[in-house]
Amino acid sequence: MKQVRTDIAVIGAGPAGLAAALEAKRLGAEKVLLLERDAELGGILQQCIHDGFGIHRFGRRLSGSQYAQTFIDEVEASGIEVLTETMVLDLQADRRIFACNRRDGILEIECGAVILAMGCRERTAAQVLIYGDRPAGVLTAGAVQRYINMEGCLPGRTAVILGSGDIGLIMARRMTLEGMKVEGVYEVMESPGGLTRNIVQCLDDFNIPLHLSETVIRVRGRNRLESVTTARVGPDHRPIPGTEKEIPCDLLVLAVGLIPENELSVKAGIELDPRTRGPVLDSAFMTSVPGIFAAGNVAAVFDLVDYVSQSGEAAARGATAFLRGELSAPGLDPVEAGENVGFVVPQRLRREASPGKTAFFLRVKKPMVKAELVCSQDGHVRLKKECRHAAPPEMLSFELEPPGPLLVEMRE
């Protein structure tokens, strides 16, 4: 077993991991190790050839691969050690990582601090209780994206999309441009799950119908998918008898939500938030286990890559402060998700002095027009921010100087 010692190890080289590694190096961490299970850096951005990335950060529209490459170029010039095709097998509470690759075999990595940036995974057909046969042709939206954009393969000719997540919406447009027929997007909820701009640019502009309060209840086909059965759903989201329709197709695309990759978090004994399904973080983006930090979609599912990179840099600032001994073990004040707020990240505030403002990220519970974000500490309003429009698919962000218990509300 090869033994390695590093100051900061970053697990995952997507946008959060790349930004975290660079920020840690800028802040003076001598040894920064970036671990990536894929053959190349960039994470999911490698297969995102559509534009719209980097508007907030760079002020221009980039493709996902272009956005990633700006960070990859910096990493390659920074002296950060990179291990690709390296699978992390275990993470322990004492910040020891066990990983493996073909070059080194088994690695035991002793870390001064660890930043989790593994991203998230897609829900599958089994997790949304679709019944019927198990034919070829039932794929997640991310898999379809990779087949078309990176492998140059069309996974079908006629598609039905279940769920209105952003990747599914984007692939509806992409498949149409490649000559495929998209019969429609079916969403069990009463409102879309993706960004408004993707509804307009990917569905409306291509005359692809969006069916709300309707879902896929069964697939048919022995070896290859032949058709799916859809049905309307009631307020309890259960299928309404008599509303079934059978749609011939050879591809069912699942865009039914994302789940943070939290297997390593569980192994390390990190406390998870049942709302985000990622680690509970404090204002230094440190988890409940000292010295282990988290950023990006492993902490909560983000919608904008600019926010993902921002959270990676915040975690790196926390990790370097931990190495310098600046993060003691003070009490933690809660961040409460109040009226109309689904969750807030980070979920706790450190009581010790902070070198600057803390970035917070939140999602609302329902669509809102002309709402007001109100943040209160000890009954005193610390921040008010007008929001002309807010919806659950679109994450909001604000900055505030801790400490003190914080209540975050969205008032209509």
**pLDDT digits 0-9 by tens, 101-144:** 999 999 999 999 999 999 999 987 766 778 777 899 999 999 99
Give yes or no for residue 354 having a pLDDT over 70. no
Average pLDDT of 342-353? 87
**pTM summary value:** 0.92
pLDDT bucket at 330, cuts 50 / 70 / 90: low
- In the chain, % helix, strand, coil (3-state, to 5) comes to 25, 35, 40
Given this chain, do its domains 1-121+258-327 and 124-256 carry the same CATH topology? yes
Q: Which of 3-12, 78-87, 285-294, 350-359 has the lowest mean pLDDT?
A: 350-359
- As a whole number, the mean pLDDT across the chain is 92
- The answer to whether the Cα torsion of 300, 306, 312, 313 is positive or negative is negative
The pLDDT assigned to 402 comes to: 64
The pLDDT assigned to 382 comes to: 87
Give yes or no for residue 203 having a pLDDT over 80. yes
Average pLDDT of 389-404? 84
The domain 1-121+258-327: what is its CATH number?
3.50.50.60
pLDDT bucket at 355, cuts 50 / 70 / 90: low
Which residue type, as a one-letter code, is found at position 5? R
The pLDDT assigned to 327 comes to: 85
pLDDT, one tens digit per residue, over 34-80 is 999 999 999 999 999 998 898 888 888 899 999 999 999 999 999 89
Q: Which CATH architecture has domain 124-256?
A: 3-Layer(bba) Sandwich (3.50)
DSSP 144: H
User: Where are the chain's structural domains?
Assistant: 1-121+258-327, 124-256, 330-412
108 has which bridge partners? 3, 98
Distance CA 361, CA 219 (A): 38
DSSP 60: S
Collapsed DSSP state (helix, strand, coil) of residue 19: helix
Average pLDDT of 379-405? 86
